[in-house]
Structure 1
Amino acid sequence: MREWTAWLLLWLCLCGRGWALSSGAPNGTCASMTPRHTGSTPQSSPPPYTVTPSVRQVARNGKLTVALASPQGLPIHGFLLEARAPGSDEAQGAFTSYPDTAKTINCNGRYASAVTHKDASKKNSLTFEWTAPDEDIKTFIFRATVVQDFQTYWTGILSEEVKVVEHPEVSTDHSTGISTTRNPVKSTTEIPVIPEFPDPKAISEPLNPIYEGCGTTKACFGPGECLATKSCSMMVSVLDRVEDYEFEMMADSALYVAVGLSDDGSMGDDSVVECVYDATNTAVQAYRSSNAPDDKANFRDEKPFEGITLVNHSYINGRVYCSFRRQVVTYTNNKTYDLANQPFFLLLASGTSLKDNNIGIHSAKVSTSSAKYLSDVTGWTAASKVLLRLHGAFMIAAWIGTASLGILLARYFRQTWVGTQLCKKDLWFAWHRMLMVTTWVLTIAGFVIIFVELRGWSQEDNPHAILGTITTILAFIQPIGAAFRPHPGTRRRPVFNWVHWFIGNSAHILAIVTIFFAAKLGKAELPVWLDWILVSYVVFHVVMHLVFSVTGCMSERHSASRIDSFPMKDIASSRMALQTDRKHDAPFTCLRKVLLGIYIVIILGLAVAIIVIVALAPIEESYETFSRWLKDA
């Protein structure tokens, strides 16, 4: 008898642990929404969970989705979710779609008016479909209770208000002329919002719903810090709907936007979905494609529509947008992509280059810094571009900074600081050699860095890579030739001088042209107005060379007039005077030094400015982030 009594007491204790660790909330808890946990009380701290409806307006009998999640990624073991009118304790509406780990209960005699857990398994973000009732109720608020463990739970977790209107807001796809409601009446499936995109520079959250839920109910990713300011030039979001995954993508000034699932964060052997604007049919279509493992080219899959469903699309003011749903498990090129159980890097790209049956070269491309599960809604950051920025900074410092100054010294300052030496070499030559060795080191370092970053040859349709390689080869052989230069006065010395001059100046000119092409690379993310700074450098550099050439001619004439002033009978002494004159600085030395000081200040200023623009690219986003930091400070 005692044994049966003990088993009975144990069973009662287990039942008394309440609905959080069993099979869900009973109907009797609909009003209080409080677990029947013996000896425990709700937490008084702010809840680490959020309830987020997909829209803020709904029609009678209209549908919407609501998400329950923790921004910190905390687990959910039990929950109860209802929709109520303000001030009421009665559940309204009906939950018509829910995950396999959930079930509905009938509160207040209303069918499926609340949803709760089916078991005590660990859950992350959850999404549900809810249908508004056909009653005269103007506003609803979703209310939730979430149980983290037996002793830890929060009640009264509220969503923002959802208004019931006769005619929900309508957004029109200008490319097709089709209007869709944000909350379709009596629709069997939810139709997400088609964003109405204004001028990209005037984007704000109310006008661009793609940002709603980022970091709370869905994962979002874009370049730099654009998500914080809701000003992304391109972005992608991923919502775990349990039965599938819903992606949203957009890109400014583009004809396509694409997202790839990658194992290593680099382009190659990836599964891609691309949304492409078809100008002929004035519509956006979604296709499955793949990145080849070897040559990194992109090609359409044999069944480009298999496993994906296009939900919404638009092309407005140069912005391409689409949302599509992808099956949890798909197969591509003998590889399985399990979105629920595999972590992935996200590759996001956009561009304007299109081919007959696939997309072309990307104008912009960015990848995540690490592989993550798509159900993880936080921590999606862009991969570091330190090597890319170092490459640009090194090349700018080398060819706009040290090379420009080194060439100038060698050409115009041989007869300046005569008699002054550094390391037993004439001062002009010592500085020329130091500056050109620095140019050589920075160029070789930058060349190696970019190959490490790209892991191969650049795929962009831009001559920057070819011109940069030629420049690097010329720069590499220049000091080798200088090391074997003939002695002054020998027969081959003039030949060396001309070859050395030609290779050095050719490398410098090619380097500047290469930098101009670099400003057009999508990966560099440089502003279009950088061209004006580069043009300013070229103009200033050429003008200063002309000025130094004029001062050189003036100096030579002044020296010649001094020699010609000797009478014929003193020709011997005049030759001696010429030799003596070469031991002193040439005329107008003071002017040349002043001009050199001006040249150094301007050139270094331009080089530093361009390096800052390259290092902080995209500079507009960096400026906005800095301004926001100053404002907050």
Structure 2
Amino acid sequence: MMDRSVVAATALLLAVLLAGGPQEAVRAFQIGAPNSNKTCTTLLPRHSDNVPRAGPSPFALSAAQGARGEPLNVTITSRQGFPYKGFILQARAADDLMPIGTFVVHDSQNTQTIACFGEDHNTVTHSNPSEKTSTTFEWTPPVDFNGQVIFNATVVQDYSTFWQGVVAKALIGDPALTGSTAGISTTQPPLTTQRTSTTNAPVTMKPAINYRALSPIYIGCGSSKACFGYPNDCDVDGNCNIMMTSLERGDKYIFELMSTDPRSLYVAIGLSTDQWMGDDLVMECVVINSEVKLFQSWNIRPNPRKGNTRLPTNGNLQLMNYSHVDNTIYCQFERDADTTVNDVRFNLPTSQYYVLLAHGDEVKEDGYGGVGYHFRALFSGQQGFLSDVTGFKAASKLLLRLHGAFMIAAWIGAASIGIVLARYFKQTWTGSQLCGKDQWFAWHRIFMVLVWSLTIAAFVIIFVDLKSWASSSKNHAILGVITTALAFFQPIGAIFRPSPDSRRRPIFNWLHWFVGNSAHILGIVAIFLAGQLPKAELPSWWIWIMVGYVAFHVIMHLMFSVAGCISERQSSKRINSFPLKEMSSSRTPLSSAERRQEAPHACFRKFLLALYIFGILVITIALIVIAVLAPIESNSTITNFQNWISTNRSG
């Protein structure tokens, strides 16, 4: 028989272990939310790795309109009869994350106030874990406050189940003065970003506080789960357009996917051994009849645009939670850590993968037949473990951005100016030369060498970046190849041009004119088409800037032509035929004497040229900035610059 002392010790140890486990959960909410800067900012409980529920909350928050400095009642209720055990509640101005006003509790046994950021009674929480279905508080606004106030709460049902962003809006003061509406209540969590101020009053902020307002999917990024989103590092700022997270939990991996693009009908994550689509495991959340369904599929090499096929999940994939609210798709699911799909083993704990993230609006058979081509795809720049909380970083798009910038500089900038110089300025600056050549020819050659160099560099760069033919941008790619070929051979042909007196010179002139203008036109069309490429991430109004460029280019050419006609009339050198020898702005052949004489109205033509160069430079720089900083709408540099301007104006 086992020694009694051993039995007693074992029993005591089991009792301690059994008692110790629940105490952690009980301690987590039995005395209310802690008074810490992190909790006061995020309104989130410290419940290990648990994250807020993403679906609609079963709890509601309501508040009435109030007068300046007068108290009003705020109530948390259970809409479906589910009891809750804990909560934390603050009142905030519509344009601020700092709690304002003071709470008064009438049931001190179940509720209490805490002092967030050193201000007494500005936050209210529970004081014991008893079950509740309704709790009412009295809140008094600041005496000088007039406008909309947002009550923001997190409600805890149990240790692992809680909802963040349970909100209600109330109007304080005169509605006619604020322009707001009163008595608004909602349970949908608002997607917020960093704090901004729209008032002219100076704002005092405590530097130790992180004011990032967190949506549930962002909680734990970098500390308990891996995150990857777009734009790059958006999980830090809480402003992702598309995002994934992964968390290892025992023999399961928990994934979250989110897309905030209103066009999205699906959001998907792919696991790959390389950075290219093909032979990838894909998990996709698809909106079907206002619900979100989870599927598994496989990208087939070498044509992933048409080669994605659905696969059975075989019980390895389980949807845990989802929502489709305010045009935002969210899903949470788990998959087994070690599975075999399409004869390929995916051992998530021991293998590193590239993460492919995509969303789009093309679905087949209402979503049940698969998903179509994405309008945005994001690739991680390196392989990594899905359990690595440092997360993933997007692959560098430096080469892609350089390709766009070089092509814009070549065909919008240098080619446009070079062509104008050769066509309209052969009888300008005739009294001076550059490197022994006429001014127009020297500068024409400089600009065209620049076009050639930038085009060849951009052509090589994009193939180094893609490492293959871009089937998803076929028209753009074909025009780009033709443009590059024409640009490549154009200066080679110019080297072998006949002498001015040769009978073959007119043939050369026409061929040189045709090849150069064809390359220019095709290059412009290719840049037009770049605005439709998902990888380019260009804004929808890109096309209107290009239309503006074409209109400006055509109008200026008409003005140059009119100026040339006036100049000819002034010098009385009209002709009725157009043999293409040495062509002036009006295609009139020039004699040696005429070639050395500057045409009338040179100052006016120079003014038009200066105006044209200025306009081309402005358009070129604008297009390059948009292409390099794409997506321009969500670029943090632009956002910070706008905030800086707003701050200086308000100051």
- If the TM-score is normalised by the length of the shorter chain, which range does it land in? 0.5 to 0.7
TM alignment of 1:186-335, pairs within 5 A: 208-223=215-230, 224-251=232-259, 252=261, 253-278=263-288, 281-297=289-305, 298-304=307-313, 306-335=315-344
Instruction: Point out where structure 1 has 5 or more consecutive residues left out of the alignment.
Output: 1-21, 34-45, 63-92, 94-135, 142-158, 169-181, 564-576
Correspondence 1:590 to 2:603: yes
Equivalent residue in structure 1 for 2:417, among 405, 409, 414: 405
Q: Per-residue deviation at 1:621?
A: 2.3
- Give the structure 1 partner of residue 446 of structure 2: 434
Comparing 355-364 with 242-251, which one deviates more in the overlay? Answer: 355-364
Q: Per-residue deviation at 1:302?
A: 3.6
On the 8 A contact 2:403/2:461 being kept in 1, the answer is yes
The one-character-per-residue Cα deviations of 1:528-582 (angstroms, maximum 9, x if unpaired) are 222232222111111111110000111111121699xxxxxxxxxxxxx975443
> Relative to structure 1, is the Cα distance of residues 258 and 57 closer, same or farther in structure 2, using a 3 angstrom cutoff?
closer
> Relative to structure 1, is the Cα distance of residues 548 and 57 closer, same or farther in structure 2, using a 3 angstrom cutoff?
closer
Partner Cα distance (1:333, 1:247) in 2: 21
Partner Cα distance (1:441, 1:534) in 2: 23
On the 8 A contact 2:282/2:298 being kept in 1, the answer is yes
Look up the SS of the partner of 1:523 in the other structure.
helix
Q: Per-residue deviation at 1:631?
A: 9.5
Partner Cα distance (1:162, 1:403) in 2: 75
- Give the structure 2 partner of residue 83 of structure 1: none
Correspondence 1:613 to 2:626: yes
The one-character-per-residue Cα deviations of 1:93-145 (angstroms, maximum 9, x if unpaired) are 9xxxxxxxxxxxxxxxxxxxxxxxxxxxxxxxxxxxxxxxxxx9769x9xxxx
Q: Per-residue deviation at 1:628?
A: 6.3
- Given residue 592 of structure 1, which amino acid in structure 2 is its aligned partner? R
Look up the SS of the partner of 2:318 in the other structure.
strand
- Give the structure 2 partner of residue 384 of structure 1: 396
> Relative to structure 1, is the Cα distance of residues 561 and 451 closer, same or farther in structure 2, using a 3 angstrom cutoff?
closer
> Relative to structure 1, is the Cα distance of residues 439 and 383 closer, same or farther in structure 2, using a 3 angstrom cutoff?
same
> Relative to structure 1, is the Cα distance of residues 435 and 296 closer, same or farther in structure 2, using a 3 angstrom cutoff?
same
Q: Per-residue deviation at 1:350?
A: 1.0
Partner Cα distance (2:296, 2:388) in 1: 23
- Give the structure 2 partner of residue 416 of structure 1: 428
Identity across matched positions, percent: 46
> Relative to structure 1, is the Cα distance of residues 23 and 632 closer, same or farther in structure 2, using a 3 angstrom cutoff?
farther
Partner Cα distance (1:545, 1:609) in 2: 22
- Given residue 218 of structure 1, which amino acid in structure 2 is its aligned partner? K
On the 8 A contact 1:260/1:273 being kept in 2, the answer is yes
- Given residue 409 of structure 1, which amino acid in structure 2 is its aligned partner? L
- Given residue 619 of structure 2, which amino acid in structure 1 is its aligned partner? L
Comparing 306-315 with 440-449, which one deviates more in the overlay? Answer: 306-315
On the 8 A contact 1:235/1:348 being kept in 2, the answer is yes
- Given residue 448 of structure 1, which amino acid in structure 2 is its aligned partner? V
On the 8 A contact 2:413/2:616 being kept in 1, the answer is yes
> Relative to structure 1, is the Cα distance of residues 444 and 527 closer, same or farther in structure 2, using a 3 angstrom cutoff?
same
Equivalent residue in structure 2 for 1:459, among 452, 455, 471: 471
On the 8 A contact 1:362/1:460 being kept in 2, the answer is no
Over aligned residue pairs, what C-alpha RMSD do you find?
Answer: 4.3
- Give the structure 2 partner of residue 166 of structure 1: 133
Q: Per-residue deviation at 1:26?
A: 6.1
> Relative to structure 1, is the Cα distance of residues 240 and 165 closer, same or farther in structure 2, using a 3 angstrom cutoff?
farther
Partner Cα distance (2:54, 2:283) in 1: 31
- Give the structure 2 partner of residue 89 of structure 1: none
On the 8 A contact 1:259/1:274 being kept in 2, the answer is yes
Equivalent residue in structure 2 for 1:54, among 51, 56, 69: 51
- Given residue 282 of structure 2, which amino acid in structure 1 is its aligned partner? V
- Give the structure 2 partner of residue 70 of structure 1: none
The one-character-per-residue Cα deviations of 1:418-446 (angstroms, maximum 9, x if unpaired) are 14222322221111112111111111111
> Relative to structure 1, is the Cα distance of residues 435 and 160 closer, same or farther in structure 2, using a 3 angstrom cutoff?
farther
Partner Cα distance (1:412, 1:450) in 2: 35
On the 8 A contact 2:556/2:612 being kept in 1, the answer is yes
Partner Cα distance (1:583, 1:244) in 2: 83
Comparing 544-553 with 232-241, which one deviates more in the overlay? Answer: 232-241
On the 8 A contact 2:570/2:600 being kept in 1, the answer is yes
> Relative to structure 1, is the Cα distance of residues 409 and 467 closer, same or farther in structure 2, using a 3 angstrom cutoff?
same
> Relative to structure 1, is the Cα distance of residues 554 and 323 closer, same or farther in structure 2, using a 3 angstrom cutoff?
same
On the 8 A contact 1:255/1:276 being kept in 2, the answer is yes
- Give the structure 1 partner of residue 357 of structure 2: 348
- Given residue 268 of structure 1, which amino acid in structure 2 is its aligned partner? G
Look up the SS of the partner of 1:369 in the other structure.
coil
Q: Per-residue deviation at 1:238?
A: 1.2
Partner Cα distance (2:511, 2:111) in 1: 85
> Relative to structure 1, is the Cα distance of residues 191 and 471 closer, same or farther in structure 2, using a 3 angstrom cutoff?
farther
Correspondence 1:517 to 2:526: no
Partner Cα distance (1:525, 1:502) in 2: 33
Aligned residues: 480
Q: Per-residue deviation at 1:469?
A: 2.0
- Given residue 338 of structure 2, which amino acid in structure 1 is its aligned partner? V
Comparing 405-414 with 200-209, which one deviates more in the overlay? Answer: 200-209
On the 8 A contact 2:193/2:237 being kept in 1, the answer is no
On the 8 A contact 2:54/2:322 being kept in 1, the answer is no
Partner Cα distance (1:137, 1:199) in 2: 28
Q: Per-residue deviation at 1:328?
A: 0.6
Q: Per-residue deviation at 1:518?
A: 0.8
Q: Per-residue deviation at 1:480?
A: 2.4
Look up the SS of the partner of 1:366 in the other structure.
strand
Correspondence 1:476 to 2:488: yes
Instruction: Point out where structure 2 has 5 or more consecutive residues left out of the alignment.
Output: 1-12, 25-36, 39-45, 60-84, 86-108, 115-124, 136-153, 167-186, 196-211, 576-589
- Given residue 263 of structure 1, which amino acid in structure 2 is its aligned partner? T
On the 8 A contact 2:110/2:126 being kept in 1, the answer is no
On the 8 A contact 2:165/2:190 being kept in 1, the answer is no
On the 8 A contact 1:361/1:461 being kept in 2, the answer is no
> Relative to structure 1, is the Cα distance of residues 444 and 496 closer, same or farther in structure 2, using a 3 angstrom cutoff?
same
> Relative to structure 1, is the Cα distance of residues 286 and 391 closer, same or farther in structure 2, using a 3 angstrom cutoff?
same
> Relative to structure 1, is the Cα distance of residues 242 and 627 closer, same or farther in structure 2, using a 3 angstrom cutoff?
farther
Q: Per-residue deviation at 1:348?
A: 0.5
- Given residue 300 of structure 1, which amino acid in structure 2 is its aligned partner? T
On the 8 A contact 1:197/1:208 being kept in 2, the answer is no
Look up the SS of the partner of 1:514 in the other structure.
helix
The TM-score normalised by the length of structure 2 is 0.65
Partner Cα distance (2:480, 2:569) in 1: 41
> Relative to structure 1, is the Cα distance of residues 221 and 491 closer, same or farther in structure 2, using a 3 angstrom cutoff?
same
Partner Cα distance (1:476, 1:197) in 2: 58
Partner Cα distance (2:373, 2:22) in 1: 58
Q: Per-residue deviation at 1:590?
A: 1.2
